[in-house]
Every structure is written in structure tokens, then in C-alpha cells.
A and B are shown apart, each in its own frame.
Chain A
């Protein structure tokens, strides 16, 4: 079954804690993206990666980190430096050329 798997669906973070959101894809897409959605706002780009071992900051990268060691995986770490982490996080992939993005089901992160 092809697609994008994000886990967990819900995540709670304690003060000062780093947490990692998982994004796995079996679509063989080169590009992967992480977005954050806050109420009443559009999707804001955190980080993206066009190829393995390479990634670029998006508009709101501060307080986040990523890695792209495998084509299939693009985990996002929300660090303690991110002071307002409560949001809905979406992972997406895109094939080459002018193709639309494919999205996972998202992870909702809350502060304990």
C-alpha cells in the first residue's frame, strides 16, 4: 500500500524536552517537506529536502531540526528551543517535475 506514514498521530511534549516526529514514504519520491499549521493560517514550510543527505530551511526553521539519511525517511525534531510548538504538523512528498505534493495524515503536537 503506497503512501506516507506519519507517527505518532498525537504527541505531547514536556517543558525542555526534544521530541521527534516520524515521516516515512514508500512512493520513491525525491523531495520531502515538513509543514506546520496553526489555526487560521496556511501551511508554513519548516524544512524540505530534495535529495538524500541534503535539506534546506524553510520560513520557520528555528527550533526545529531534520535529517535525511534515507530516501524513505525525513524525521523532524522539535527542540526545546521551539517555544511555541503546539500545532499540527504535516509531512509531504513530491515526485520530480511539476507534480503536486502528497501528504501524510499529520501529527498533532501539544504541550503538557
Chain B
């Protein structure tokens, strides 16, 4: 069974806090890992596409790292803002299909 696990399931932080969450995935047959941001009442939008072990990607205050050998990726948000509140999904891709994690639901309180 190919499982993609995300932790924590949900997270509540105060505005200005930095936070991070984890995506664990099968380390074999790895092709790519995608991070998506899913705001309420909208459709998921891609944040990062990561392919190489050791990859680090950054977009504004959000960054991600990738370790394909041990099968995990971290997503970091620096100085969280209320508009960062969303569910963050990771998806493991093996060139044939994608498997999504259940997501981490982030709530940033003003």
C-alpha cells in the first residue's frame, strides 16, 4: 500500500508565528512531490513541484524541503498571516499517478 501521510492534521497558530508541517511518502519509485494550497471555497492551487533530493523551494514566506531517500518533505511558513489559513496538501507522484495526503489544515488567528 502506497501511503502519503501528513502531520499534523490541523494546526492553530497566532499571526506572526512561524510554523512547519510534514509530508511522508514512499521513498521507492519517487518521481516528484507537489505541494498544494487549498483555501476554503476555492480549488487547490500548486505551490511547489519538487523532484530532486535536497531540493529547497521558496515562494515569499513559504518554503519547502525534500528528502527523497528517507521519504519526507517539510513545508515552512515564516511569520504566518491570517490569509495563510488553508489546507496544505502534498502529493507524491510516481510517473503513473498521484497519491495525495489528507492535508494539514492551518488556521492563523489575528
Chain A interface residues toward B at CB < 8 A: 4, 33, 35, 40-45, 48, 56, 58, 90, 98-106
Contact = CB atoms under 8 A, between A and B. Distances in A.
Interface residues of B, number: 24
Main secondary structure on B side of the interface with A: strand
Interface of B: 4, 6, 9, 31-32, 34, 36, 42-46, 49, 51, 89, 91, 93, 97-103
A58 B51 CA distance: 23
A7 to B, nearest CB: 14
Contact of A43 (B32, B49, B100): B100
B102 A40 contact: yes
Nearest to B96: A56
B43 A101 contact: no
B51 A98 contact: yes
A61 B18 CA distance: 40
